[in-house]
């Protein structure tokens, strides 16, 4: 097993320098970042010329419980949660790591791809290693350069900079030096990192929610930038020693956005926030005559949009399902050919793209590495790249040519809910905009807009049936396999329903086009494998009912989700969830809501840790 494959994949960084006791600030920040996924946690503080370091496996609570009153972490420090792909889950591999000579301690998100050659170089010069991580190689390389550097006011920063010039891979790092008690150095390359500016104090985080309780003023670092922080100031430079003027941003989050409130889990809270998140996604985005949508951030005129001959959507995970819905909607209403690509595949393909091709990247976090790399590849080839993302100031939002913010508010639950439906809402509005630029009539446009305006109220109606959906879910909680089936626009929603269930309940579940069932998956059908059918489209309802009957004939239990007005024969469904009727383009959004509740209540019945499912993290920021 290579060491690089054992390094942290989806980790979190927090740092502080100021006048307050650092330990509790670091732990509070790590607790707010727990949703990102991890298997160990640690903090380091600097007081005088010595480090106090504490690491624990498992939850941040284990770390918090281990902090003793006698421990003095000082007023500057760094913290980290580590997520390993496989192997290497141990306290020795947990961050922070200390250099061989004890001069530096460091936390790191990312992968040092050339760690082996660096380690060999350092081995030959007497450096010893105590962990199995590439991070320890990096902190020792910084020490090596520090020992070679001439003394001077910027020796700490220069040592980090020179070490990083030899690194191939990705990193977000925060470093303490025992000889520089009032300084922290941070740097980033393809791993998110931001600076929080307080009153006579500074914060560092890989995610804004970690510091939202302390400050709303932040600076997002760009790739190839380093920053030197004191408690009262900071400076940013590039790897070439070029000074950077910081661009300060204002967080628009409230503390209640990242607090549970009356809910047991963030996932449930975010499911019930969807009427508001959808309203926010639409606010101010309709024309004065309510016949079309408008997006100020596209950076394309109506004439330029009319010249688009092809659209490529790239994403990962749940966002990829939103791209599939976009394909159906844009081809149907705007008659523009659309292709959907996994970002992780697109970045390595040499896909032929026509001259007037527009590339869309969808990413809730705006930090998904594969999606960012796919966007970079498209930009290298000269294509216009637009982003749909939820995080203002995120890497993808900053680096794209234009885009659309979701305005969903922070999504803490690992399993995406409100961000997904906001993405569906935005791609529906995009289909409306492009359709109206081509051959969609005024009346069709106003009907579409009215349906969008009515959508939050209809979502509330679905949420009002939460207790009934819970009762239905509990009937299915003991099963270990499940199929989700739907046709056309419901196929991506079947995929999403299956993904939600497997993410948080660990039930093996798959989504298929309903008509494809008899081309293989029907072999799985038995009384041990229930099927969820999405039968909302009246024009193909009889086709879907035929598929249901095929499953019923083989003894499977069937749950049907259908729209008001659709006649579902009593003998077809063991359980039936009826949702309000709506415009065909918006059926995917309404159908998603009961599937989210279904997955949530099954996971709850099975006693699963819903907001922190095993092996998963909210944002995948390295390959």
Residue 192 CB contacts under 8 Å (≥ 6 apart), including other chains: 172, 206, 207, 220, 367, 394, 395, 619, 621
Determine the Cα–Cα distance for residues 437 and 508; give it in Å rounded to an integer.
43
Task: Give 106's strand partners.
Answer: 97, 175
Length of the chain: 623
In the Cβ-directed half-sphere of 446, how many Cα atoms lie within 13 Å? 5
How far out from the chain centre does Cα 547 lie?
A: 35
3-state secondary structure 17-74: ECCCCHHHHHHHHHHHCHHHCCCEEEEEEEECCEEEEEEEECCHHHHHHHCCCCCCCE
- Pick from 462, 442, 445, 441: which is nearest to 453 by CA? 445
Taken in order 576, 579, 584, 590, the sign of the CA dihedral is negative
Determine the Cα–Cα distance for residues 227 and 174; give it in Å rounded to an integer.
10
- Between strands 202-205 and 12-17, the pairing is antiparallel
Residue 520 CB contacts under 8 Å (≥ 6 apart), including other chains: none
Stated as kind and residue range, the H or E segment containing 206 is none
DSSP classification of residue 293: B
Catalytic residue among 55, 458, 500, 618, which? Answer: 618
Are the C-beta atoms of 453 and 446 separated by less than 8 Å? no
Residue 464 CB contacts under 8 Å (≥ 6 apart), including other chains: none
Q: Which residue has the tokens 């408008």?
A: 294
Q: 3-class SS at 527?
A: coil
Determine the Cα–Cα distance for residues 559 and 553; give it in Å rounded to an integer.
15
Angle at CA of residue 550, ends 547 and 551, nearest 5°: 95
- Pick from 575, 574, 571: which is nearest to 594 by CA? 575
Determine the Cα–Cα distance for residues 123 and 109; give it in Å rounded to an integer.
23
DSSP classification of residue 465: T
- Pick from 390, 343, 402, 386: which is nearest to 365 by CA? 390
- Between strands 558-563 and 531-535, the pairing is parallel
Are the C-beta atoms of 38 and 11 separated by less than 8 Å? yes
Catalytic residue among 11, 177, 316, 608, which? Answer: 11
Determine the Cα–Cα distance for residues 61 and 273; give it in Å rounded to an integer.
28
Taken in order 587, 590, 593, 595, the sign of the CA dihedral is negative
Residue 155 a catalytic site member: no
Residue 294 a catalytic site member: no
Q: Which residues are catalytic?
A: 11, 618
């Amino acid at each position: 097993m290579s060491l690089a494959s054992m390094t942290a994949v989806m980790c979190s960084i927090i740092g502080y320098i100021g006048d307050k006791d650092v330990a509790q600030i670091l732990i509070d920040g790590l607790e707010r970042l727990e949703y990102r996924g991890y298997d160990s946690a640690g903090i380091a503080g600097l007081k005088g010329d010595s480090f106090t370091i504490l690491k624990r496996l498992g939850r941040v609570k284990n770390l918090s419980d281990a902090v003793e009153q006698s421990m003095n972490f000082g007023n500057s420090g760094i913290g980290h949660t580590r997520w390993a792909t496989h192997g290497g889950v141990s306290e020795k591999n947990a961050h922070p790591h200390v250099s061989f000579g004890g001069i530096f301690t460091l936390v790191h998100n990312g992968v040092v791809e050339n760690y082996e050659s660096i380690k060999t170089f350092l081995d030959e010069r007497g450096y010893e290693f105590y962990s199995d991580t590439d991070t320890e190689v990096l902190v020792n390389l910084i020490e090596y350069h520090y020992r070679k550097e001439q003394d001077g006011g910027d020796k700490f920063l220069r040592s980090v900079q020179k070490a990083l010039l030899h690194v191939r891979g990705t990193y977000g790092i925060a470093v303490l030096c025992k000889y520089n008690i009032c300084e922290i150095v941070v740097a980033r390359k393809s791993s998110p990192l931001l600076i929080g500016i307080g009153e006579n104090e500074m914060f560092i985080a890989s995610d804004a929610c970690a510091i939202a309780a302390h400050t709303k003023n932040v600076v997002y670092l760009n790739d190839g930038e380093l920053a030197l922080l004191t408690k009262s100031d900071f400076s940013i430079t590039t790897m070439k020693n070029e000074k950077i003027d910081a661009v300060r941003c204002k967080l628009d989050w409230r503390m209640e956005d990242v607090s549970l409130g009356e809910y047991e889990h963030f996932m449930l809270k975010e499911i019930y926030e969807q009427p508001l998140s959808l309203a926010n996604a639409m606010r101010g985005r309709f024309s004065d005559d309510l016949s079309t949508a408008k997006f100020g951030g596209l950076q394309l005129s109506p004439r330029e949009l009319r010249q688009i001959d092809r659209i490529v959507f790239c994403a990962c995970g749940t966002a990829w399902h939103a791209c599939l819905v976009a394909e159906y909607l844009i081809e149907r209403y705007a008659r523009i050919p659309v292709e959907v690509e996994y970002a992780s595949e697109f970045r390595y393909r040499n896909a032929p793209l026509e001259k007037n091709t527009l590339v869309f990247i969808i990413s809730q976090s705006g930090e998904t590495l594969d999606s960012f790399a796919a966007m970079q590849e498209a930009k290298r080839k000269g294509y216009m790249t637009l982003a749909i993302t939820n995080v203002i100031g995120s890497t993808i939002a900053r680096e794209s040519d234009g885009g659309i913010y979701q305005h969903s508010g922070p999504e803490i639950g690992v399993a995406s809910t409100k961000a997904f439906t906001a993405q569906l809402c935005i791609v529906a509005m995009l289909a409306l905009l492009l359709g109206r630029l081509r051959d969609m009539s005024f009346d069709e446009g106003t009907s579409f807009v009215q349906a969008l305006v009515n959508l939050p109220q209809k979502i509330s109606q679905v949420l009002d049936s939460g207790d009934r959906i819970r009762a239905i879910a509990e009937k299915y909680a003991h099963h270990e396999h499940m199929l989700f089936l739907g046709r056309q626009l419901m196929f991506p929603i079947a995929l999403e329903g299956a993904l939600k269930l497997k993410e948080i309940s660990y039930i093996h579940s798959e989504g298929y086009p309903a008509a494809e069932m008899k081309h293989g998956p029907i072999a799985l059908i038995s009384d041990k494998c229930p099927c969820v059918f999405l039968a909302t489209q009246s024009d193909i309802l009889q086709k879907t009912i035929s598929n249901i009957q095929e499953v019923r004939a083989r003894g499977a239990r069937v749950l049907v989700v259908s729209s008001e007005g659709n006649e579902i024969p009593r003998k077809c469904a063991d359980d039936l969830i009826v949702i309000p009727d709506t415009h065909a383009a918006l059926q995917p959004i309404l159908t998603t809501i009961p599937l989210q509740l279904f997955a949530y209540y099954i996971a709850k019945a099975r006693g699963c840790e819903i907001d922190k499912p095993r092996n998963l993290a909210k944002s995948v920021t390295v390959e």
